Amino acid sequence: MVLSMGLRGYIIKRIIYTVFLVIFVLCLNFIIFEVLPHSPAQFFIGAGPAASHSFTPEKAAMLRHMWGLDQPWPVRFMHYMTNMLTFQFGLNSPNVGGTCLDLILTYLPNTLILMGISTVLSIIIGVVLGVIAAYKRGGLFDNVAVMGSLLTYALPTFWIGLILIAIFSIYNHILPSGGIVSDGMPPPITYFFLGTHISIPTITEIVNRLSHLFMPCAVLTIVSFGGFTLLTRATMMEALTEDYILTAKAKGLKERTIIFKHALKNASLPIITSAAMSFGFMISGALITEQVFQYYGIGWLTVNSIFQTLNMSVLQAIFYVIALCVIAANFVSDLLYGVIDPRIKYG
């Protein structure tokens, strides 16, 4: 009962702290886009690559009014806070139409598929290799695992992507060089997330999707698993030197039980934090990888919104959603600490 009350109090404190943190993020997000050298209206009228000199003064005034740029900043701030807190996010750019929420939900499923698969694979591969390397520390496997992790972790993402494209697409014609599917955006998954249509993909559509997904997923897995390998190895090597490990060995427990049930469980707190942050940033997409493979996810949308349209509403919405995911991931990881490690008491 004491632990339950302590946990309840901790959750209440974290919720209050999270509310203030979200408000701070919203204010910072607003300020960042307010101090930009060009507003979206200036960009479209004649201050960037997407500028159109056919805008008349009337069209320019209409554009400023559509984004609320003709209003004082306190009014814009209140509209901005209302849009962010209600997840409306405002209107999209005039040359695209629709709302920012519709645009984000169109690209979000692609990012969740790519980043979700690659993140899970990176964690599994990295933790397994790190545990084995720590158990065989100083041996050949340990040296190869450490060197391989450092090498893949340091290699440029775009370079790995180009190498895979050259091997599997240009020279051998095994996999497509980019895209989501062969005929553009996949409507079944997109419409499923938008809630307007539910369609079960066929075997051909699944194979088509996986063939386009393989290389970007492989790139993200290659550049990410090394960090989990090194972190797991370091925490495991420290745990394996503790007295309770020697006691477990003296009791005659199996090596597998000692490693996974005792050592890994007590060494998993930093791994949980790293994994939670990886899932928190998952929605941000992979900016470089999605550009290399022209994979139409949130990362591709972010870069396109910066360099092509300066779509302030979309960028504000993306940054806000990413911040919310990171805050939520950090909150969940803190709660998991007490479940995994009974030595941690809330209160």
DSSP state of 99: B
C-alpha to C-alpha distances, 78 to 27, 175, 229, 291, nearest whole angstrom: 11, 49, 46, 35
**Terminal CA-to-CA distance of the chain, rounded, Å?**
12
Q: What is the mean pLDDT of the chain?
A: 78
Q: What is the pLDDT of residue 23?
A: 92
- Say what angle helices 100-135 and 187-194 make with each other, to 10 degrees: 110
pTM, to two decimals = 0.77
Q: What is the CA angle 215-216-221, rounded to 5? A: 95
Residue partners of 165: CB distance under 8 A and separation at least 6: 177, 178, 215, 292, 293
Question: Residue 341: pLDDT band by 50, 70, 90 thresholds?
Answer: low
Fold (CATH) for 100-340: MetI-like fold (1.10.3720)
Mean pLDDT value of segment 192-202: 51
Q: Are 263 and 239 in contact (CB under 8 A)?
A: yes
- Say what angle helices 2-34 and 312-340 make with each other, to 10 degrees: 160
Ordered by start, the domain boundaries in the chain are 12-85, 100-340
Residue partners of 48: CB distance under 8 A and separation at least 6: 38, 310
Please choose, from the candidates 116, 92, 9, the residue with its C-alpha nearest in 3D space to the C-alpha of residue 318.
92
Q: How far apart are CA 249 and CA 255, in angstroms?
A: 8
Mean pLDDT value of segment 182-191: 50
pLDDT at 126 > cutoff 90 = yes
105's tokens: 């939900």
pLDDT at 227 > cutoff 50 = yes
Please write the tens of the pLDDT for every residue from 270-295: 888 888 878 777 776 678 888 889 88
130's tokens: 């790190």
Residue with tokens 């709660």: 335
What's the chain's Rg over C-alpha atoms?
Answer: 24
Q: What is the pLDDT of residue 323?
A: 87
